[in-house]
Structure 1
Amino acid sequence: MRLAWFSPLPPVHSGIAAYSLDVLQGLTGRHAVDLYVEDRVWQAAGGHLHAGRGPETAALPGPLGLPLFRAYDFPVAHTRHPYDLVVYQMGNAACHRYQWPYLLRWPGLVVLHDAALHHARAHALLADGRDDEYRDEFRFNHPGVDPRVADFVVAGLQGSPYYLWPMLRTVMCRARGVVVHGDPLRRALAEEFPDTPIRTVSMGVPDPWEEGSGLRAQGSESRPNGGSGLTAQDSGSVLPADRRPPTAGIVVSAFGVITPEKRILTILRALQAIRAEVPGVRLRLVGEIGEHYALWQDVAATGTRDIVEVTGYVDDEQLAAELRAADVCLCLRWPTARETSASWLRCLAAGKPTIVPDQVSTVDVPTLDPRHWLLKHDRTDAGAVFQPPPVTRAVAVSIDLHDEDAMVRQALRRLVADAALRDQLGHNARAWWEAHHTLPRMHRDYEAALAWGAAQSEPGWPEDAPAHLRPSPSGWARDLTAPFGVEVDILA
């Protein structure tokens, strides 16, 4: 199958860029894939303004040796040699902005990483001064909502409206098919968009114990939850001196861009409350500090500067080392766009105990409630009341956001002190990853999804779609030449 692949790619610092490469590794031997990227990826690969000379476009060698093109090259390439399927890796971040014009004009298979796209779409329109078009799209996506809500976003009063109104209809009605990474989300979207074909593909992540230094091959651990797993040689060779994973004490880690949504302030307050009980506990924040987050103010306010370490951006090999070094992992993103957290899955793959929010993406995962340390999300039948399922089935600890501070504090207090519980949760976490989230399983699911997506028909636009989303093919030419009195309708 010939595939056109639209996705962020390195050097863009995006989880979806790394995910896309993991998927492509399993597809390149079976399909001919052309990569279509935004300008900064093209230029980082050595490309210039024009992709080719004369009528032909020239590809650059991209990741995995695949042909790399500017997105602007796609219309000509697709017209001359139509692709069997166009795949859009779509998320709620600015690095996906370039994909929108192509997705709306050439429907394809949309891999929906975030079930809310308001942030990215609003930014794309408002940054270009297209306020009225944003208002039109808001009305189209949310016809039952007072259209004046859009004025709050136009005025800069953003934040909550982005999560309350996800602006999904535009994408859902133009996709040949939509892929998501969990059955709970698939069911919810199928109820909201019954005319859109939707299927689930397992999200897979690499095994951190088979990357980089190859610790298993050196016999350092028989299974991946036996402490940090880093020898002195390993810790000195994997990271620069100021970014090495610590090798002593209890290491509590959080991964990804450091933002308030990761509940960092809640974590800091919890650690400050229990630090006297656990000398040597440290918080390791693995990632860049978000542009709009004053992290160090929260650190100062909680008096935790001496136990907080920030790595900055790390590459895949460094990330694997950080995962191996952690004792407890915190994956507490909220508010959420109902995404499946790749960083959480990486923690499971590393065999680490994790603390997560109790939300739609984890309702099918057996978790412990730290208020009473009993199991949730395992059985719902009446018999479970009289014969509760064993707590040894738990994969993670989950937090009710209505009682967030107390539950995070209670969860950390128990996990940092109870090595046996950490070991049990880590063992189950690794088993859950092996059953549901390996790369080979994701590759198998993608093979089926690609064949399914190619068989779907191209959807038409709904009658109430905004005019700017379905422009007249010659309208732009007329607008350009009208001031000069030039007639462009050659058949008039």
Structure 2
Amino acid sequence: RTEPATSSTAPSHRHSRIAFVSPLPPAPTGIAAYTSRLLEALRDAGGPVVDAFCDGPTPGQRAPDGVELFHARSLGVVEAARGGYDAVVYALGNSHHHLGALGMLRRRRGVVLAHDVRLTNLYLHEHGDPALPPGGLARTIRSMYGESMPDHLGAGGAVDGADLERFGLLMAREVVAASDAFLVSSHMAAELAALDVGTALAARIAVLPFAVDTPSAERGGDLDGFSNDAAARPAALAGPVGRGWGSGPDVAGGRAVVAHFGIVDPAKEPELLLDAFCVARARHPGLLLAYVGPVSAAQAGALARRCAERGVEQDVVVTGGLGSAAYAGWLERATVAVQLRRTTNGEASAAVGECLASGVATIATDVGWIRELPDGAVARVPRAVGPVELGETIAALAGDEASRARLAAAGRTEAAARTFARVADALLAGLGERVARPGTGGGRPVRDVPC
């Protein structure tokens, strides 16, 4: 049973010391890289001192220079030694990298920076230890939702993806209830969370803009890299599709490049992109398709087989995870970026943000955070887009330099309004204003924390 979190007291003076709980580089999650940059911006803001508390199983996590680092499980001890924190911020996402934050939030209230609204996978990992009594996930679902959810959900230690969508299962209720404020990256995410938690808790939900930037190749080192960036090339990529594994672009100067950036997994519809690429290639025979980002062996094998079936092995490369310099090289070389998403957990896309900041003309699925970007910043396609429509969109943009230039300019303008410095200032202002007050009850609307 979850014990009630103790309430933190808010001093009347400006915050002087903040604790920030999050995975940090080289943890293989985009939230680690995001937090690292946000910590730098908070450090440089010249306001409160920020202590970082690393979360998750990845060893050797690092904080930016000038930010002291502790382990998440040490939060209580360190806070006592510090004489108290003016605020505790928990970065939370839908993975096992945030189990420490979930546990600490139950004991020490704080502000949650929610990178995802759906947290079902986080709870699945919490109850996935074979040493724990079976049925923990199902009991947690029942404790949150009572009889409004069917008994079979979570009974086998997991929830089928179709059931997640069918029943709208998010499992955000406990976290919102234990928080002083639940900050999300879009109005869509805020509305999604409010539907899950009900009116009594909805007043704690607010929108903090999502920061975007180019990869930090100019800083040197690999502070923002994933721990699995140098993973061995899967055996399935021994052929031509794997020739660019672990490398920056090696592409003839006049060749147009269509690229997907970020983790390559089924939710990003990589097979749909490949089929659409084949359609676009009929109009532009010289096109190259690059999947730039970490990929599982199973997904790599599926792509390699599909390339062979369609006869495009010489026109597709899969790079795997890359360091900042190589990743930035692909952003610079890309003619068109294509960022698809089948479903949303209420997250924003760091990969799309990097494309905007880098001036890459980007095609993206019109879902979630993407829908709230200004018109003209990205070329939107519907969630149900098929390979022919998508391929024609890719071909048209690849052949229209003026349209690409307009998208690039609009993307850079949007990125300039979403810097980490501005988001850090907005977060500090929100903490100072007590963005949400627990116990105020019913109370919409969702309040923004503007940059």
Which range, TM-score by smaller chain?
A: 0.7 to 0.9
Aligned partner of 2:317 in structure 1 is 309
Which residue pairs with 1:197 in the alignment? 204
Question: Quick one: distance in 2 between partners of 1:347 and 1:71?
Answer: 32
The answer to whether the 8 Å contact 1:257/1:290 transfers is no
For residues 26 and 246 of structure 2, the distance between their equivalents in structure 1, rounded to whole angstroms, comes to 24
Q: Could you tell me which residue of structure 2 aligns to residue 168 of structure 1?
A: 172
The structure-2 alpha-carbon separation of the partners of 1:160 and 1:97, relative to structure 1 and needing over 3 Å to count, comes to farther
Q: Which among 119, 136, 139 is matched to residue 136 of structure 1? A: 139
Please say if 1:445 is aligned against 2:426. Answer: yes
Number of matched pairs = 390
The reply to whether residue 146 of structure 1 matches residue 147 of structure 2 is no
Where in structure 2 are there 5+ consecutive unaligned residues?
1-15, 221-243, 442-451
Instruction: Tell me by how many angstroms 1:454 deviates.
Output: 8.0
Deviation at 1:70, TM superposition (A): 1.9
Change (3 A) 1:440 1:78: closer
Q: Which residue of the partner structure matches residue 124 of structure 2? A: 122
Partner of 1:424: 406
Cα distance in 2 for residues equivalent to 1:24 and 1:209: 14
Q: Deviation of residue 452 (structure 1)?
A: 3.4
Q: In the alignment, which residue of structure 2 is the partner of 1:361? A: 369
Structure 1 contact 205–438 (Cα < 8 Å) conserved: yes
**CA deviation profile, 1:312-363 (whole Å, cap 9, x unmatched):** 2122333222211111011112222121111101111111211111223233
Q: Decide which of 249, 259, 274 is 1:253's aligned counterpart.
A: 259
**1:329 maps to amino acid:** A
* Equivalent residue in structure 2 for 1:411, among 393, 397, 410: 393
Answer with 1 or 2: which has the greater Rg: 1
Aligned to 2:294: 288
Change (3 A) 1:122 1:182: same
1:93 to 92, 95, 101: 95
Task: Choose from 14, 17, 21 the match for 1:6.
Answer: 21
Deviation at 1:125, TM superposition (A): 0.8
- Partner letter of residue 132 of structure 1? G
Sort the Cα spacing of 1:62 and 1:396 in 2 relative to 1 into closer, same or farther, 3 A.
Answer: closer
Aligned to 1:25: 40
CA shift, 1:253, in A, is: 0.9
Q: Answer whether contact 2:339 2:364 (CA < 8 A) is retained.
A: yes
Contact 1:34–1:68, Cα closer than 8 Å, also in 2: yes
Asked whether the 8 Å contact 1:212–1:317 carries over to 2, the reply is no
Secondary structure, counterpart of 1:252 in structure 2: strand
| Cα separation, partners in 2 of 1:82 and 1:241, compared to 1, 3 Å | closer
Task: Classify the secondary structure of the residue corresponding to 2:127.
Answer: helix
C-alpha distance in structure 1 between counterparts of 2:304 and 2:150, whole Å: 39
Q: Is the 8 A contact 2:215 2:324 kept in 1?
A: no
For residue 254 of structure 1, give the secondary structure of its aligned residue in structure 2: strand
Question: SS at 1:4's partner residue?
Answer: strand
**Alpha-carbon shift at residue 31 of structure 1 (Å):** 1.7
Q: Is the 8 A contact 2:57 2:97 kept in 1?
A: no
SS of alignment partner, residue 94 of structure 2: coil
1:72 Cα offset (Å): 2.4
Q: Which residue of 1 aligns with 2:240?
A: none
Query: Partners of 1:76 and 1:459 in 2: how far apart?
Result: 30
**Aligned in 2, Cα 1:168/1:39: closer, same or farther, shift over 3 Å?**
closer
Q: Is the 8 A contact 1:331 1:344 kept in 2?
A: yes
Question: Is the Cα–Cα contact under 8 Å of residues 141 and 170 in structure 1 kept in the other structure?
Answer: yes
Within the alignment, does 1:299 sit opposite 2:307 as a pair?
Answer: yes
Among 323, 327, 333, which residue is 1:319 paired with?
A: 327
TM-score for both structures, normalised by structure 1: 0.73
- Distance in 2 (alpha carbons) for counterparts of 1:403 and 1:18: 31
Q: TM-score, normalised by structure 2?
A: 0.79
User: Deviation of residue 40 (structure 1)?
Assistant: 4.5
**Superposed CA offset, 1:431-486 (max 9, x none):** 2222x3222321221121222348744899xxxxxxxxxxxxxxxxxxxxxxxxxx
Structure 1 residues 276, 363: CA separation in 2 closer, same or farther (over 3 Å shift)? closer
Match for residue 183 of structure 2? 179
Higher relative contact order (CA 8 A, sep 6+): 2
Instruction: Tell me the secondary structure at the aligned position of residue 325 of structure 2.
Output: helix
Unaligned runs of 5+ in 1: 46-60, 214-238, 368-393, 461-492
Question: Identity rate of aligned residues, in percent?
Answer: 26
The 3 A distance-change label for structure 1 pair 316 and 404 is same
Q: CA RMSD in A?
A: 2.7
Give me the whole-angstrom Cα distance separating, in 2, the residues matched to 1:455 and 1:120: 24
The separation in 2 between residues aligned to 1:299 and 1:336, in whole angstroms, is 27
